[in-house]
Amino acid sequence: MKSCLFTCETISAHFNSLGDRNRRANYRSSCIINTKPLDLTDPTLFINRELSLLEFNRRVVEQAKDETNPLLERLRFLCIASSNLDEFFEIRVAGLKQQAAYQAVQLGPDQLSAADQLKRIGETAQLLVAEQYRILNDVLMPELSVEGIGFMRQAQWSARQRSWVRRHFYRELMPVLSPIGLDPSHPFPRILNKSLNFLVSLDGTDAFGRDSGIAIVQAPRALPRIIAMPTELANGRLEFVLLSSIIQAHVEDLFPGMQVTGCYQFRVTRNSELFVENEEVEDLLRALEGELHQRRFGDAVRLEVADECPAQLTHLLQNEFDLGEEDIYRCKGPVNLQRLMTVPDLIDRPDLKFPAFTPSRHRRLALNADMFEVMRRGDLLLHHPFQSFAPVIEFVRQAAADPAVLVIRQTLYRSGPDSPIVKTLVEAARAGKEVTVVVELKARFDEEANIELATQLQEAGAHVVYGVVGYKTHAKMLLVVRREGKQLRRYVHLSTGNYHPRTTRSYTDFGLFTCNNALATDVQRIFQQLTAPGRASRLKKILQSPFSFHTGMLELIQREIDNARKGRPARIVAKMNALVEVQIISALYAASSAGVCIELIVRGVCALRPGLPGVSENIRVRSVIGRFLEHSRVFYFQNDDAPEVYLSSADWMGRNFFNRIETCLPIEDRRVRDRIIKEGLENYLQDNTRAWELGSEGTYTRVATNGRPRDAQLQLLEQFREP
């Protein structure tokens, strides 16, 4: 029997010919039906989550080698991978180290212990880091030099350049550096998480007769890590000097009369997971403020050190931070590649960057359009970043200025420190509107910014709550209540992404404007849950975590299984950031075995193993890595040719189903639904330029470009390009 067909032609034919019974029958017969019972306790059916996350970072690193990407964007991809690895160690590896220390016995579906995972992570991550530095040193730096962009090492400085560096050191660095010699009265200093430091070896005695031989120099975070050489000294090129090079060149000036025998960069990564005991906290904001300081000095989980650092000095650091040999990463270059992220922004070379684009305005949204009137005429979908986020900001502004608007309610997970939406909510509250904002204080690495904006809102008179203790509020909702004649009408915006103007320029997301009464009623009820105690009301349309989202997805998958068994059209297409929840994966395996054809577009972590005979040969998994971060969550169920499409704020992960407040809304407007299918699913299933396919062994291979190249994101940019 043939395997499930997943060619671009088949996909396109399927989505465009739902009324053609013969073509449906032919498509249906291509799916394998397995009648053998599945052993879903078999650990080989599941890919390890952490190793899958490293695979995602490998795909990002590959973008730095891809010559179809502009040169400075390739450097940016390398920095993004470095940033991703930082968070991976701060959260995922830190958690595994804690499990290993406490000898935790609870295993994941792959049955790998914490110790086994750490071993395999170490082996994989070491190779990945080595590849990053190889690409930087052997590929990107030479290519940048050809383009007149350089990073000058000490040996390359001319006499005039060396003089300028010295003046810069004495003027900008010397006054703020605090070298610390290690001796009984100067213990090893506390090293901030991910800060740049130097281990200095010394010969000789100082004025007090001390001869410890070792000192630490910490680079303040306020200092820029990349310094541009003055134009008149750069010989017509763009030359940069690393802060580390300047400090190393003049480190002897910090220890007068001593001989510096070595100076080596190092950086330590610490456990950054905040721990707040929800049951014992009376004031979540104050508890988090206390924890944020501790994040800087959590347990060490990784040590990065210059590759030329002698073994005995590396061992000294290793002992100081209580790390094993497997936790040491020797770096052939800057110990923090992420610091190079600023370089593209310092260089005015459009030819070395992605072409600039202006997000288009929706055709129904003329400049200064009345958002309420537009929504009364029908649902409106925005596809970011291809379509502008400005209408969302305009909606809040119009609501704040409209005397007929009585209430504005919004969730904020990540919004940025200078959010125009927050400023508008402040103005609305000061104008006497009833403004209620659910601020998620525990949005990872945005806690400090969210505490600040919560304070701003409270001082303006807005009602600020922090959701439900023990559950992160991750739903993206905005509700406006407006008096129109003798009735109150509710207007809603729901989104797959955050209310963050900057990330809407780089993340792909869908946002829906609607005044559909059933959806608006559901949103109002969810806000009521978030602000006041009471039993959860049954929602009419929206599936909600932690109550109905998980069971709802399982029921929709089961319906496809039932249709397949009855010989009816059965198909699932799902796009998300991560897929790890065991029951959902088991249900997808059962669906595949029943003959349901399943396409999954999973950007990052995927614990499902496709292509296993008798289990998942009807499942195809792909990942698209391109200019924009794929962030939208879209779920399609064929439903016997009465297709249903859902947009969600949540991935198919345990935390999203059971430990967060999430929304998943059905798209009932046919025009909106067809747009989502075409732009958000079919378009990505046809991508043969930026797509990677997951094999049953757990690794990804680049999809071959056969025929005309198809780049999903580029096609959307062209589609929405302003004339």
Tens-digit pLDDT profile for residues 198-210: 999 999 887 667 7
Identity of the highest mean pLDDT range in 11-25, 266-280, 318-332? 318-332
Query: pLDDT tens across 625-673, in order?
Result: 999 999 999 999 999 999 999 999 999 999 999 999 999 999 999 999 9
Contacts of 47 (CB under 8 A, 6+ apart): 110, 606, 607, 608, 609, 698
Bond prior to 109 in cis (omega within 30° of 0)? no
Calpha distance 680→669 (Å, rounded): 16
Residues in the chain: 723
Burial of 634 (0-12, 13-18, 19+ CB in 10 A): buried
Tokens read off for 4:
């499930």
DSSP type of residue 339 = G
Q: Is 384 a catalytic residue?
A: no
> What is the distance of C-alpha 95 from the center of its chain?
19
| DSSP sequence for 365-378 | --TT--HHHHHHT-
Q: Which amino acid is located at 288 in the chain?
A: L
Catalytic position from the list 474, 500, 550, 631: 474
Does the domain at 54-352 match CATH 3.40.50.620? Answer given as: no
Query: pLDDT tens across 519-553, in order?
Result: 999 999 999 999 888 787 789 999 999 999 999 99
- Higher pLDDT among residues 155 and 205, named by residue: 155
Alpha-helical (H) ranges within 332-408 are 343-346, 371-376, 390-401
Q: Which pLDDT does position 289 carry in this prediction? A: 47
Domain ranges of the chain: 8-30+544-719, 54-352, 371-537
Q: Which pLDDT does position 1 carry in this prediction? A: 31
Query: Cα dihedral sign for 134, 137, 143, 144?
Result: positive
Tokens read off for 470:
């023990």
> In this structure, are strands 660-666 and 472-473 parallel, antiparallel, or unpaired?
parallel
Min mean pLDDT across 4-8, 442-446, 514-518, 581-585 is at 4-8
> What is the distance of C-alpha 200 from the center of its chain?
36
Calpha distance 454→433 (Å, rounded): 17
Query: pLDDT tens across 674-721, in order?
Result: 999 999 999 999 999 999 999 999 999 999 888 899 999 999 999 998
Q: Which pLDDT does position 141 carry in this prediction? A: 97
620, pLDDT greater than 80 = yes
> What is the distance of C-alpha 465 from the center of its chain?
25
Q: How confident is the model at residue 297 (pLDDT cuts 50, 70, 90)?
A: low
Calpha distance 634→612 (Å, rounded): 25
Alpha-helical (H) ranges within 19-70 are 21-29, 49-65
612, pLDDT greater than 60 = yes
**Superfamily, domain 371-537:** Endonuclease Chain A (3.30.870.10)
Question: What are the two backbone dihedrals, phi and then psi, of residue 397, each rounded to the nearest 5 degrees?
Answer: -65, -45
Q: Which pLDDT does position 294 carry in this prediction? A: 54
Q: Which pLDDT does position 491 carry in this prediction? A: 98
Q: Which pLDDT does position 22 carry in this prediction? A: 40
Query: pLDDT tens across 91-146, in order?
Result: 999 999 989 988 877 788 999 999 999 999 999 999 999 999 999 999 999 999 99
- Higher pLDDT among residues 392 and 469, named by residue: 392
**Superfamily, domain 8-30+544-719:** Endonuclease Chain A (3.30.870.10)
Q: How confident is the model at residue 8 (pLDDT cuts 50, 70, 90)?
A: very low
Calpha distance 267→682 (Å, rounded): 44
Q: Which pLDDT does position 140 carry in this prediction? A: 98
- pLDDT more than 70, % of the chain: 91
Calpha distance 463→457 (Å, rounded): 8
291, pLDDT greater than 70 = no
Contacts of 158 (CB under 8 A, 6+ apart): 233
Domains 8-30+544-719 and 371-537 share a fold: yes
Is 226:136 a contact under the CB 8 Å cutoff? no
